[in-house]
Structure 1
Amino acid sequence: MAKLDHMLNNLHNWGRNRFDNIPKRIKELQSQLNSLYPTSADKGVMKLIAIMEKDLEEMLECEELWWNQCARALWLRHGDKNTSYFHLKANQRRNRNKISSLMLDNGRRSENVEDIHNCFINHFANIFSSSNPSHFEAIVDVVKDRISNSMI
């Protein structure tokens, strides 16, 4: 048991040293690079900047990998909970948006699906139809004057 505890402590320390210092190391590298950029274009300084930029890129990749692993672990742990939550919300919204009863044209309330369906069809048919078109011949005459035989 002591060996297992010792190994656990070593792994814990390794992980803390490897990953906990990443954000701190990134900030250090960025501040060092910002202080080196305005300096002279000395060959040695340029080489140091290139090395530090490479280190910074590696640290940023390491940090991104760490965040991806954390996100995946959270998704695996809570994925089903989130899925059931979103299904529940979708069903609640569907039930809330459902028209269960409607006041018909004759003033009677109906819960019958066919009555509701027919009421909507009649309503929109009345809105988008005209019972007595006015000046229909005048409109047709204007359209005829605008269209020549060669266009037809």
Structure 2
Amino acid sequence: MKDHRIDGVRRRMGFLNGFNVTPIGRAGGLSLWWDDTVEVEILFSSKHIIDARMMEKGAHRWVRFTGVYGTSYRYEKVKFWNWMSTYFSPSDMPWLCGGDFNEFLWDSEKAGGSQVLYNRPRYLESCLNSSELLDLDFNGPAFTWRGMRNGSLVEERLDRGLCNRNWQDVWPNTTVTHGTAKEVDCKEVVRKSWVCREDEGAQERWLKKINDCRSQLIRWSQNKFKMRSYQIDYLLEQLGELQKNWGPHREEILEKSRLIDTLWAQEESFWQQRSRVKWLREGYANTKFFHQTTLQRRRRNKVLKIRNSNGDWVENPNQVRRLVDEHFMTSFRSGGGPKLGDNS
């Protein structure tokens, strides 16, 4: 997101002041916002951190705040965390530090995927020791990130809040809360994409909204429906393991089976809709497609044999046609008549 768009969002949220680290292409980008009750001085910034000191107007104490976005690239981690351990020396000011570190601290902060190695590099732990920062712990869900890796669901706690002892002495009740992840629906994607921009003409705004909405819906569709397929594969793998020993796992097996059935029903509904969309898009415009669809329906509806009034099966096409004609001719007479397949 470009700086002018970030500033527009900031102003709509009611923050008068801000500092941005411009993204590189579509990657990265950081932003720190504050209102006019706070005086802020930026100490250092890069694509990974914004380090600042701030003081409430009328107060006489500076505090330090550092926002972090750790590198997610393995080849950058050694260089990045060596720099962090050097730059983040202990501070005499009350210091709050938080963000997405892209590292977990304890082995229990990861679930699923490959096994955590006992001799893995402990970048975050080393940084906390050198800077004398303390983990603030959290309330809420245990993990802040989840995704699929090689067909398995992986969950990790990558986001956290840290503080030093001076901060803890002044504000001992500081807490971190992990919000509940909420699935965004299609309507919400469209609504957010259609936010009005007043800095452009009407035609430019309309074209921008259409393009933004299209790209956001494509991304939403890929994430939502691809994830469901991964979930089914993951649950089936778990179910296979549980069914090796039914006795103690019976309730869990039933619960996972119900969940798989639900996901399968959603997947079936999705593909039925996709098939209908394809027919609407291609049916009349594509003669070959329409012709093949008609032939398929004709084969499905074709009467291959029929039972006559004596209970005998008739398969000859001409005799089948004659029996059908006789049935309807007799049915529409005033006196009625025998029905096809009547053995009496």
Q: Which structure has more strand as a fraction of its residues?
A: 2
The TM-score by the shorter chain falls in which range?
Answer: 0.3 to 0.5
Larger Rg: 1
Q: Which structure has more helix as a fraction of its residues?
A: 1
Normalising by structure 2, report the TM-score.
0.22
